[in-house]
Structure 1
Amino acid sequence: MAANLLQKSIVSLSLVSVGAMTAVLGSHLAPTNAGQTQPLIAQIPAIPGNDTNFISNAVDKTGPAVVRINSSRASRSRSAQGRQARGTGSGFIIKSDGLVMTNAHVVDGATSVTVTLKDGREFAGRVLGEDRLTDVAVVKIQANNLPTVGLGNSDQLKPGEWAIAIGNPLGLDNTVTAGIISGTGRSSSEIGSPDRRVSFIQTDAAINPGNSGGPLLNQRGEVIGMNTAIIGGAQGLGFAIPINRAQQIASQLIAKGGVDHPYLGVQMTDLTPANRDELNRSPELGVKVQVDRGVLIVDVAQNSPAARAGLKKGDVILAVNGQSVKASNEVQQAVEGSTIGSNLAIEVNRAGQTVKLAVKPGAYPVSER
């Protein structure tokens, strides 16, 4: 694949649940504009209202609604056939009648789920739905009058704001860590998980195995993200799903048990003057790229919406619905915001000529999720 020639670094991204549900995602395409990413620490956050106890106040407000989720499933190891593999993660209650949000990888394939509250009560959980493309799941327990979290607005986050994580790392229930928002809008390819349909929050609040699915809070104790992954071998590089995105997915899971994601069926990479010559020398790509800015299509899936609309390997996407694009995550966001079956106007440069196409996004194939 041409994409293999574009790999610049290898990052080990670990999903932060414990035991059976732990996974490692492999290599990724390094961002070509890495030097332009946001600084890890943009400012020193102010203590709100000069309240030196604001972290404990935030935890008092939200902590009772943070839960431990134990799950078990049949082992996938040939040497352990017939045995049950177990995993532990975190979650938080969003409705007092027992709706709990967590990561999909915490409960994926689970044959049983147990939810334990901070006060020690245990409930059997039923997975209402999970979405692997965003790593969001909703679990239902039979209970009423439960404590719930308050939700913040992740669209308003800025690097340098306070961040507080609560979860059950390595089995240590109700562990609290604090740091800052280190960055926002981190693309899935930047953090080594190119198949995820999420722009992540980056934080240096300590996140460890077992924190998966737990809340990331702002200084007021509102949930602004769902902790989901760390980069192995690094310190202070944790990632959370923005709560606005997670809530959007959760609403669909509650309503119908699944989520339909629009998709085109293309593999893309960012095009820059630095990598254009390398791409043009690639026999696997097989075309000569005439421009040095845009989003290069390096492969098109057979019988996909992109193939049916006439998109080709070597096309450089310049604009989607009239909006210019320079990065693959911008194309992905535009597709994700479209409607399945509607026309998506895409402008490409093909061998030096501008070509305009109308693509009808299809539903992301379930078999590939």
Structure 2
Amino acid sequence: MKTRQAAILVLFLSLSIAAILSSCSSLPENEPNANSTGDSIISHLDLLVDTDPEQCIAVISNLFEQQREKNQSFDNSIIGEKGIVLFRKAVENIGFLFKKAIASQDILTARRLSFSADALVQYVSFYDSLGEIVSEELSMIASPAMRLQLALWEAENKFKEHGYVIGKATLSKAHLGEQEEYSFNKIEDFSIENLKSLIETRDPKEYFITWAERAKENNDVNAEAWFESLSSGQMSYSPSILVSDQDWLADAVSSVVTVYVDRGFKVEGGYSVPDRVLGTAFQISEGLYLTNYHVVQSEIDPTYKGYSRISIRPSDNPQIRVPSKVLGWDEELDLALIQSAEHARSTVMLPPPGMRFHAGDRVFAVGSPIGLENSITAGVVSSLSRKIISFGEAAQIDVPVNQGNSGSPLFSENGVLVGMVFAGLPSFQNINFALPVQWISLSLPDLFERKEVIHARLGLMMGKGSGQSPLVLADLDPSLSAFIAGDTLTSINGKLTKDIASIQFQLASVPKGALCFLEAQRDFKPVRRLRQISHTDGASLIPAWDRIHKNSILEGLFGARLTQLKESTKVGGLYSIQWVCPAEPADEIGLSENDVITVYKFRLDEKNKVFILEFSAKSRLSGYFERTIHLEFSTESATII
């Protein structure tokens, strides 16, 4: 956990670099000379290199890349040759801290440092002048084989602490994040013997045999098949071997309970009426149930000041209410883990990685619509990849959904859990949504931490674009500002970027604070950055309002790169449009490159959680007819990675 001293140093360093390197007009008139400011930055990097070497590396590499983009050598940066020296020391400290974490059995820190080392190795491979900095030891720390050992170690600890379900979920999450790297061909590049100098190792096949036995003991036939395939050296798993009990529907019904949240009374039409929330939950381990966050929100939302009591109604005895409590919750994925003394007669097992459903698949939901317990509804998957939530994606289904169905498990025809119902559109028939099971698997280990799940991000606001890779709309990091609107993000940690949801899926397995290696294209030239996954504001843009230049937020919401024709520290006035992102608001209202707009108002309405933009435009596509336009944008963005 980062110390308060490190946080202060990072903030001071960020402000110092921003004051020197930013081209915005908010720079002070009497700017300090380059040498004195460089010395100031160096003195703070000297401290940061020991307290937070990953942040130190991110800052220095950003300076390096600014030099490369100007076709200048690294040692000509604002901190001169000292940059290489500090970069080398920070890299060495990653190795030192990794060994310290292993010695103290701090697996989370060790995993974070392994991910950072991997990103670092990829970055320095582009530069001969930095190549010698990477030692054989660092390469071992960065290897997929090391991360597999750490994942197995963490899963064992979770198994001993919480039991089979959380241990398996930990392995599933690690596998989902790095399926391509967990091939034995790559793992053999660093044999177990090589890793023994850093960590106490064990043959992964032995682990998988043990986990197959545990799966068998828990009647988890799908996981048993998965672990057996892993123990035989098949790191890829085919869903076609998934099997299920013929009486799966009866078991599914007996695993489901009704969630009942009593919120006292509310006033309607001058009368007090009971305020109740109904939902569904399903048992994943004895006394542990998954449901939707919005069902139990009043139990954990600090802004809710009223009365709230949660209980469950068993499917075989719906007349009783058993008190329950919320253990962990994930607001962005609309998930919550609740605990109760009541044990359902059956348990739903999450499938192993590789399970996917497809458009046209027949699915079944088991829940309590309007409180009617044990109701089974059926339908098909209408479509996949609906980006209607801020983190992740949803599947569209035509299974009937009513109040009380929230949290219902969604099963395939052979009884395998494929998702969870979480939303419906009351005004439209047969347009409902479910969270695919792979997103549940990613969040489940964190739900057991008995607190809110925070999905850390890189701090980039993205647009879909019209090509194969998503486009940057705004950089929400005020200290680096390494990316500009219009940059095409091509890869993260060596993996090609497909869309926003797939990037979020990839990053969900990266520990908070780890370095990531980003590659992009700007005007057909490469942009490379090492960047920490440390943005913890979630989907909200409100914290960024006072932290970064408001023009950046305007660009991100508007979907265009803007040049303010009259330099100002404030947002507003004349802007020239330099680039427009396809399918974003600027494009939808007919604006194009070289059009000029006049912004009259751009403000935050925090009470209603919207940004308000008023402007006039003379666009080429509208025959230069002047229009005055009023737009409102939600303060929650589903496109932040």
The TM-score with structure 1 as length reference comes to 0.68
Q: Is the 8 A contact 2:314 2:344 kept in 1?
A: no
Q: Give the corresponding residue for 2:328.
A: 129
Q: For the structure 1 residues 205 and 366, does the alpha-carbon distance in structure 2 shift closer, same or farther, using more than 3 Å as the test?
A: closer
Q: Give the corresponding residue for 2:416.
A: 222
Output the CA distance in 1 between the equivalents of 2:297 and 2:374.
23
Q: Which runs of 5+ in 2 are unaligned?
A: 1-242, 300-307, 541-635, 637-641
Output the CA distance in 2 between the equivalents of 1:75 and 1:268.
43
Q: What SS does structure 2 have at the residue aligned with 1:294?
A: coil
Letter in 2 for 1:66: V
Higher fraction of strand: 1
Output the CA distance in 1 between the equivalents of 2:490 and 2:282.
41
Q: 1:198-231 CA distances to partner (integer Å, 9 max, x unpaired)?
A: 2333322222221111111122333221111224
Moved more, 259-268 or 328-337: 328-337
Q: Report the alpha carbon displacement of residue 84 of structure 1 after superposing the two structures with TM.
A: 6.9
Q: Report the alpha carbon displacement of residue 187 of structure 1 after superposing the two structures with TM.
A: 4.0
Counterpart of 2:392 (choices 198, 211, 216) is: 198
Q: 1:235-262 CA distances to partner (integer Å, 9 max, x unpaired)?
A: 3332222234314423321234332422
Q: Is the 8 A contact 1:348 1:356 kept in 2?
A: yes
Q: Percent identity?
A: 24
Counterpart of 1:176 (choices 351, 376, 386) is: 376
Q: Is the 8 A contact 2:266 2:273 kept in 1?
A: no
Q: What SS does structure 1 have at the residue aligned with 2:485?
A: coil
Aligned runs of 1:22-33 on 2, under 5 Å? Answer: none
Q: Report the alpha carbon displacement of residue 99 of structure 1 after superposing the two structures with TM.
A: 0.7
Q: Which runs of 5+ in 1 are unaligned?
A: 1-48, 273-291
Q: Give the corresponding residue for 2:367.
A: 167
Aligned runs of 1:155-304 on 2, under 5 Å? Answer: 155-159=354-358, 160-184=360-384, 186-188=385-387, 192-193=388-389, 195=390, 197-272=391-466, 294-303=469-478
Counterpart of 2:309 (choices 72, 90, 112) is: 112
Higher fraction of helix: 2
Letter in 2 for 1:241: L
Q: Give the corresponding residue for 2:495.
A: 323
Q: Verify: 1:101 aligned to 2:290, yes or no.
A: yes
Q: What SS does structure 1 have at the residue aligned with 2:449?
A: helix
Letter in 1 for 2:291: T
Q: Is the 8 A contact 1:269 1:327 kept in 2?
A: no
Q: What SS does structure 1 have at the residue aligned with 2:513?
A: coil
Q: Is the 8 A contact 1:130 1:258 kept in 2?
A: yes
Q: 1:303-348 CA distances to partner (integer Å, 9 max, x unpaired)?
A: 4xxx536223332212222222242223322332322222211112
Aligned runs of 1:11-22 on 2, under 5 Å? Answer: none
Q: Is the 8 A contact 1:61 1:221 kept in 2?
A: no
Counterpart of 1:364 (choices 536, 544, 567) is: 536
Q: Which has the higher contact order (CA 8 A, sep 6+)?
A: 1
Q: For the structure 1 residues 113 and 261, does the alpha-carbon distance in structure 2 shift closer, same or farther, using more than 3 Å as the test?
A: same
Q: Report the alpha carbon displacement of residue 295 of structure 1 after superposing the two structures with TM.
A: 1.6
Q: Is the 8 A contact 1:154 1:225 kept in 2?
A: no
Q: Is the 8 A contact 2:447 2:453 kept in 1?
A: yes
Counterpart of 1:143 (choices 332, 337, 342) is: 342
Output the CA distance in 1 between the equivalents of 2:353 and 2:426.
25
Q: What SS does structure 2 have at the residue aligned with 1:210?
A: coil
Q: For the structure 1 residues 325 and 151, does the alpha-carbon distance in structure 2 shift closer, same or farther, using more than 3 Å as the test?
A: closer
Output the CA distance in 2 between the equivalents of 1:157 and 1:302.
35
Letter in 2 for 1:204: D
Output the CA distance in 1 between the equivalents of 2:268 and 2:463.
37
Q: Give the corresponding residue for 2:258.
A: 68
Output the CA distance in 2 between the equivalents of 1:329 and 1:298.
16
Moved more, 223-232 or 124-133: 223-232
Q: Is the 8 A contact 1:153 1:243 kept in 2?
A: no
Output the CA distance in 2 between the equivalents of 1:222 and 1:352.
46
Output the CA distance in 1 between the equivalents of 2:539 and 2:502.
25
Letter in 1 for 2:323: A
Q: Report the alpha carbon displacement of residue 350 of structure 1 after superposing the two structures with TM.
A: 2.5
Q: What SS does structure 2 have at the residue aligned with 1:313?
A: coil
C-alpha RMSD of the superposition: 3.3
